[in-house]
């Protein structure tokens, strides 16, 4: 879905820009045979555009509660008192910008991920890796006046999935970016620089544009590390334009 109000409501650094047409060539095809699940999900008929209703464009934006003081800290926000999540501790940070490079402040970013062993805290996740009792795997943060965001977590582990018999998902973190209303939501995944599973993953390989894959890959940022404690990775998110981040639900425009 497009973001009709990002420029004039959420950015105060000038008039809203003229939106560039989406480049659908960077989006994966609905049917990607190597990604087995797409065989069942791909539509058999032409998509039909539905006009937005008033309720889709007026809220809610942030759900029932505003983010709490520890929502950005996945290392501790589910942990028992005095405990912390297991795994390599990291900082993930970046900026949220529009296609003209202007920062987008006050936007809600939600994240969720597997634990350091590659297992989600979900009843349907049957992977043999153990659950971490001190890791919930989700958090949220609101971007600052300069469009910046930052959260603390542990490096998620890769995990096998029943696609082709021996396929593994790369280590990744899911991102959900909200606009000014609940229906203005974009979803993507962040991968980690140097992960050999990226090039082998059928889901990643469904993306036809290598530049788009590269923009989904976070870079090690030694300038933001905490010595003797945490490494840092930078992941910038661009909503639209030639440098846009590839969003999983952005194929409709």
Helix then strand then coil, % of the chain, to nearest 5:
10, 25, 65
pLDDT of residue 15: 60
237 pairs with which residues across the strands? Answer: 96
- Domains in the chain (CATH in brackets) are 6-12+21-238 (2.60.130.10)
Separation of alpha carbons 215 and 115, rounded Å: 23
For residue 120, indicate whether it is catalytic: yes
For residue 89, indicate whether it is catalytic: no
For residue 72, indicate whether it is catalytic: no
Q: Of the listed 35, 120, 149, 233, which one is catalytic?
A: 120
For residue 169, indicate whether it is catalytic: yes
Global confidence as pTM:
0.86
The ranges of the chain with pLDDT < 70 are 1-19, 22, 59-64, 182, 250-253
Mean model confidence pLDDT for the chain: 88
pLDDT of residue 144: 96
For residue 79, CA distances in Å to 70, 86, 168, 223 come to 11, 10, 28, 28
For residue 174, indicate whether it is catalytic: yes
């Amino acid at each position: 879905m497009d973001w009709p109000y990002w420029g004039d409501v959420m950015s105060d650094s000038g008039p809203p820009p003229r939106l560039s047409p989406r480049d659908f060539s960077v989006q994966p095809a609905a049917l990607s045979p190597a990604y087995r699940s797409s065989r069942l999900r791909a539509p058999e008929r032409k998509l039909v555009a539905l006009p937005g209703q008033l309720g889709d464009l007026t809220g809610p934006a942030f759900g029932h509660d505003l983010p709490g003081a520890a929502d950005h800290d996945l290392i501790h926000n589910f942990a028992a008192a005095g405990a912390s999540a297991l795994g390599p501790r990291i900082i993930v940070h970046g900026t949220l910008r529009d296609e003209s490079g202007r920062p987008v402040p006050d936007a809600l970013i939600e994240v969720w991920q597997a634990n350091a062993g590659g297992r989600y805290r979900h009843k349907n996740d049957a992977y043999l890796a153990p659950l971490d009792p001190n890791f919930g795997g989700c958090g949220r943060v609101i971007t600052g006046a300069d469009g910046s965001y930052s959260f603390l977590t542990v490096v998620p582990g890769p995990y096998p999935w029943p696609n082709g018999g021996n396929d593994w998902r790369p280590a990744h973190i899911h991102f959900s970016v909200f606009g000014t209303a609940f229906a203005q939501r974009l979803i993507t995944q962040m991968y980690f620089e140097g992960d050999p599973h990226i090039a082998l993953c059928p889901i990643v390989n469904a993306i036809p544009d290598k530049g788009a894959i590269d923009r989904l890959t976070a870079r090690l940022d030694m300038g933001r590390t905490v010595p003797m404690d945490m490494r840092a990775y930078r992941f910038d998110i661009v909503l639209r334009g030639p440098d846009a981040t590839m969003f999983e639900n952005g194929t409709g425009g």
